[in-house]
Structure 1
């Protein structure tokens, strides 16, 4: 089905930019557009509904990931999607001054969602097909850190610029300029990747008919569930983030809640500084260090330590709920500790899916399936977390979160490794 092209590009020259280009559109759609519409007079209910709906492609992307295994190269889809994203952001900018700008811009943002999610699939495909197991471990930290740089630019840089420009040229013109700026960044990244991104795997027999296409789709699904230990892997992926699904959704609400209600009584600005600045920086630092740590020790030997660094720091929320400190520095230090462990441990799960779940005939599609299962494992406890929190109160809720970490340790202890860890660099 696919053939590999030789790669001579240093991963340091394309891994950071490729994953930056994944993070930027996602965060623009997830948060920046909500601020834009709020400032342009759209109601909160419409903003919440429609800006949530346009995120759907990132959940559904496994459904069309097999199609990308059938045609062209992984690089072709990455570069094409980045140019589509750039052009669409420019069209969004031109739609904002129109009378029915909300309908037009939401429809165009839906296109960005589809192209962004497809770019994610193809970028992961390049990463999996070009890098050896040891290189994947070495650069997994850079992958997560660069993705978060995209978040920083979307939510910090461009939103801040919009705030400054709104005072000088008005709300609409300010966001026209910002959307054109985002379009320019994506176009520049696309041009850069057209030269620097490795080709990766290339389809050697493109699908010639609808019947052949459905046969390939069925083969992708069938071979995924025929993988050795696949049900062990699914259980491990779901349980790894089980406690996180409860904790992460409630923690900011706990920080915001009044002290009398069991919270910490922080302002929105204080929460933004603690999470958006120091927390994210700690996450990036943990991700970078974890990549080098795993590259030295190997994933199998490091797995229990990674699970511990991911789950044990949730203890800080239980302590904060119990003592309810008033010091912002103490709260900030707790969040930095938790997010550093979060970043350090999270890369272990990503690398596990790359090295144990994805290998085979359809690496890119099967990795997309694994990330979809991962998101489902996070989403279910996240949906239940509010009910648990209301029922138990913050103190008992965060004690429950610690109990919810136990299945992850059991799963990590029992999960088998079907693919031996080795440096495959000489085969690339």
Structure 2
């Protein structure tokens, strides 16, 4: 019993470092791995949501943000630089502080005239910084912990990485969306009453608007009285034409009161089929449709037995301001991380630069001429290399295109073929429910692999990853109003992606077997990033050419290569199986 307690204490205490301290891994592992995920998620996914909010085209967004994969594609080329110069600890501290500066730079530039060029410059620096941090963090983890501690804390690392993913893809867009709904144009309140006597109903009269330089939201009527079972249309437009390229998002939502007696609907009364209740409805106005009234309906429940009232609001967010505040908050978080780690990251004895360990005759140039190139050469001498490269590059050929257009599709107005969700709703749907589905799929995928092995699971995992793409075809065709249906489809698709991706990860481990395991695995991750970058760059152009519905059909056809390559791969039937207990 005493022996067990001592073992647990040694795991949680940490090992003696170069300064003579034993710093608990709990002081830095959660924060270090939380900080690892956020920049990647911001660069790859949240940037897409932000640029879509700012009114950029799908083609430009997909091409520009897909190029940001390049640092991860090239990561293995400069990983020796991280090993050669300075310590992993210093690299971690410097890159975290640089990340804080990049987030602050994006926050400052997002409201400037040339915001796209300026913010993309900071995203590029952030991408290289994040990739470098990943190299240093992975190496530091192995240097600062014993082998038993590494095994014990691997689940903790994964947990906090996933929590960071939920924060980045869920909480951050929700914060931006909430700021958008409470800033911008002056809000307009609409009072709706459910009454019992018809004599209190008065026909609304639309007032003549006074000339104004200021853009306003026009809502008519603003005072509504309804008998049980009645409903009234509410028209929404703008008083002034937005500027060229400017998009004004107006959100109509339930604010307070009795939302059971008075309900908001987006579909007109003559709609065939169900008309779901809404809590929030969004419309996008541009210089082309600013004076074309968008319509919602407020209905009084036919079962009402007594008077009731509700307040609805029409608001228009200040989109640049919302992202400025959001990125400043992330910059503050990373500044805190960097200062925290100055005091709580240990100083591993083995954490020294390669330059300090080499002889005087050995140079950085000679290192590159010998060991560095041998790592690459040995990888490309692997048996059955052609199918391996094909699989690594094309297994996610469909997903790499879908992932770049999923958020724009959710955000785009229904007139453009999208689903018309608000930024906050996308944060809930794609960032929270989708990420939870992704995590659950990954966990179940790990269980399946450990029981049946990689070879038996490969086809089923490819099916799980690709078959749910057809749900986006359904969403684009039907454009369901039900938020529950939308969330269910996104959750199922992301669950399948998480389940199928575990097989891909294990295959990369298989490819890395032999000498130079860590380096060969890094090369596999670079090829994976390349397979995401190239199709993603052209996905926006294809989508604008085909439209959302046909684009998602194309995505389903693009899944064929991931199935076609499977029979050419050589996989040991026992690889990945959990060892049976004697």
Cα displacement (A) at 1:106: 9.1
Q: Which runs of 5+ in 1 are unaligned?
A: 1-7
Q: CA deviation at 1:421?
A: 2.6
**Structure 2, unpaired ranges of 5+:** 1-9, 13-24, 184-320
Per-residue CA deviation, residues 90-109 of structure 1 (Å, 9 max, x unaligned), is: 66799899xxx999999887
Alignment of 1:47-58 (within 5 A): 56-58=70-72
Any residues of structure 2 matched to 1:31-46 within 5 Å, and which?
none
- Residue aligning to 2:92: 82
Q: CA deviation at 1:390?
A: 3.3
Aligned counterpart, 2:135: 121
Higher helix share: 1
Offset, 1:242: 0.7
Q: Equivalent residues in 2 for 1:141-152 (5 A)? A: 146-152=160-166
The answer on 1:183 being equivalent to 2:335 is yes
Mapping of residues 4-15 of structure 1, within 5 Å: none
Question: What corresponds to 1:379 in structure 2?
Answer: 533
Match of 1:211 among 340, 361, 366: 366
User: Residues of 1 paired with 2:36 and 2:379: CA distance?
Assistant: 25
Counterpart for residue 398 of structure 2: 243
Say if 1:400 and 1:224 are closer, same or farther in 2 by CA, change over 3 A: same
Residue 346 to residue 202, structure 1, CA distance change in 2 (3 Å): farther
1:4 corresponds in structure 2 to none
Structure 2 counterpart SS, 1:64 = helix
Q: Residues of 2 paired with 1:411 and 1:298: CA distance?
A: 18
Q: Distance in 2 between matches of 1:186 and 1:64?
A: 23
Aligned to 2:556: 402
Partner of 2:248 in structure 1?
Answer: none
Task: Identify the range of structure 1 (316-325 vs 119-128) with the bigger mean alpha-carbon deviation.
Answer: 119-128
Distance 1:359 1:296, change over 3 A: same
Q: Which moved more, 1:17-26 or 1:104-113?
A: 104-113
**TM-score for both structures, normalised by structure 1:** 0.72
Aligned to 2:37: 23
Q: Secondary structure at the match of 1:248?
A: helix
Per chain length, whose mean CA-contact separation is higher, i.e. which structure has more relative contact order (CA < 8 Å, sep 6+)? 1
Residue 67 (structure 1) shift: 4.2
Q: Residues 341, 141 of structure 1: CA spacing in aligned structure 2 closer, same or farther, 3 A cutoff?
A: farther
Deviation larger for 15-24 or 340-349? 15-24
Q: Residue 295 in 1 paired to residue 309 in 2?
A: no
> Contact 1:82/1:190 (CA < 8 Å) preserved in 2?
no
Cα RMSD after superposing both structures? 5.0
CA distance in 2, matches of 1:263, 1:43: 14
How far is 1:419 from its partner? 10
1:356 corresponds to which of 506, 510, 514: 510
Cα distance in 2 for partners of 1:159, 1:424 equals 39
Higher strand residue share: 2
Query: Which of the residues 490, 494, 503 maps onto 1:339?
Result: 494
Check whether the contact 1:32–1:159 (CA below 8 A) recurs between aligned residues.
Answer: yes
Does the Cα contact within 8 Å between 1:145 and 1:287 map onto a contact in 2?
Answer: no
Paired with 1:329 and 1:173, the residues of 2 have a C-alpha distance of 30
Q: Give the aligned partner of residue 75 of structure 2.
A: 61
Bigger radius of gyration, 1 or 2? Answer: 2
Q: 147-156 or 369-378: which moved more?
A: 147-156
The structural deviation recorded for 1:332 is 1.0
The answer to whether the Cα contact below 8 Å between 1:141 and 1:288 also exists between their aligned partners in 2 is no
Displacement of 1:365 after TM fit? 2.5
Looking at structure 1, the residues matched to 549 and 119 of structure 2 have their Cα atoms a distance apart, in angstroms, of 43
Q: 2:405·2:540 contact (CA, 8 Å) conserved in 1?
A: yes
Distance 1:359 1:51, change over 3 A: same
Aligned counterparts of 2:329 and 2:406: Cα–Cα separation in 1? 35
Instruction: Give yes or no for contact 2:92–2:137 (8 Å, CA) kept in 1.
Output: no
Identify which range, 232-241 or 294-303, moves more after superposition.
Answer: 294-303
Equivalent residue for 1:5? none
1:399 and 1:289 map into 2 onto residues whose CA distance is 28
Paired residues, what number?
401
